[in-house]
Amino acid sequence: MFERFYNNAARKGFHFPGRLIAGDGALSDAIKASAAPHVLIIDAALCERELPVPRDTLRIPVTREPLRDDALAAAEKAAAASPQTIIALGGGSTIDVAKAVVMQLRHGTLDARDAPRSLKAPLLVAASSLPGAGSETSRFFILSDPATGHKISQRSFDVVPDVTVLDPHLLEGASATRLLAGAFDAFMHLWETFICRHERSPATDMLALHHMPLLMRAAETLSRNVRPDQSVLMELLYASAYGGIAISNVRTGLVHTLGESLAAQIALPHPLTLLAFFSAGLSSYRDAIGDRLALLLPHLNAQLPERAPWSLDALIAHWQEVLTRTGLYERVRHALSRGIDIDKLLIAAARDSVLTKENPVPVTPQSLTAIVRSSLASFAAPVSRAPFTRE
């Protein structure tokens, strides 16, 4: 019921059918409380770590960005164990595989779009070791189809993890650069939730206003390679999780649409495809979001007084500065220097009908082309890189 409900100007709603468990040791508690037999779907890079998982647990490693065939093969292996609980441990790709497995086991297909929430086994427990994507709480998963070269997005509240574990212990060993990229990803989920025209709600505003300033502070710490303490790690985990909840109640906007269209042509992680269109995208609707900035900027001034007064330009410059300092900005410039088929990118982006309804200003072929060309031009010249200090 209401699986296809989205907010509009007259009606507002908010939904999250899962449960969050947060804190050091939370993963162990969640596994102890779940029913056996278990199947662990895990990022292959974590396979050597000591984990609180029963010895007889079937382990399915994820070694790459998930393909549709990978998900089907994982589901076949998992089904042989007749699991009561699927445990997903890793970043967004690993958790997406686990969601696809759960959909296949519950519905007999990977394509049960908008399937209603069910009580069918197996239970899904998701624990993120690389926050940012929000897959640990969202109702989406993305698989690549090698036959077409396209990414396929599925949406269903039935694949929202039953239990989401936020355990800072799982972030040990993650590099500052990868955590920073994840922080930017989470920020963009919250930002595009916050500035959409109709689908935002008081609940998503609350999540965005609370976490965006904290993510910006965490990004400054990470960009200087200062070892983050547990409070910073927990903020990254919370912001990622609540970003996933927020985007399950709206649909992402201009920067995500362009970033996902770019991803079909270029080998960059998702957060860096967003960075390609960040400045031009936000600048394109600056005159239409005065009311949104009037809510956000006082939070930034209070949380980050050392950089006050804040403005949209200062916000853009902050992210460009921290991402340049760690070499991520230069990485995007280098990737784009190999050339992009602009027409192909624009055709892919124009398929997103949500833009015409939710972008703060009307989107036309001319305006979309201008944003893309401005974005690519801004990366044409080398970007100076401040030292990535070792502290």
> Domain of 30: which CATH number?
3.40.50.1970
Task: Report the share of the chain in percent with pLDDT over 90.
Answer: 76
pLDDT in tens, 362-391: 999 999 999 999 999 999 854 444 443 433
Last residue of a domain, one of 171, 202, 225: 171
Q: By the 8 A CB rule, do 148 and 258 touch? A: no
**Does residue 1 form part of some domain?**
no
What CATH number should be reported for the domain holding residue 224? Answer: 1.20.1090.10
Residues contacting 351, CB < 8 A, separation 6+: none
42: containing domain: 19-171
Last residue of a domain, one of 155, 171, 187: 171
Do 149 and 238 belong together in one domain?
Answer: no
pLDDT in tens, 35-56: 999 999 999 999 988 899 988 9
DSSP state string for 212-235: HHHHHHHHHHHHTTPPP-HHHHHH
pLDDT at 262 over 60: yes
- Counting the structural domains of the chain, the total is 2
Do 200 and 147 belong together in one domain?
Answer: no
CA–centroid distance for 390 within its chain: 28
pLDDT in tens, 71-119: 999 999 999 999 999 999 999 999 999 999 999 999 999 998 888 888 8
**Does residue 110 form part of some domain?**
yes
Cβ neighbours, 10 Å, residue 104 = 20
Backbone angles phi, psi at 105, to 5 degrees: -70, -35
Tell me the C-alpha to C-alpha distance, in Å, between residue 304 and each of 213, 314, 320. Answer: 7, 12, 17
Do 180 and 160 belong together in one domain?
Answer: no
Q: Which helix (H) or strand (E) holds 86?
A: strand 85-90
> Does residue 11 sit in helix, strand or coil?
coil
Question: 163-166 and 19-22: which strand pairing?
Answer: parallel
Instruction: Name the pLDDT band for 201 (thresholds 50, 70, 90).
Output: very high
State pTM to two decimals.
0.93
**Does residue 31 form part of some domain?**
yes
Q: By the 8 A CB rule, do 21 and 44 touch? A: no
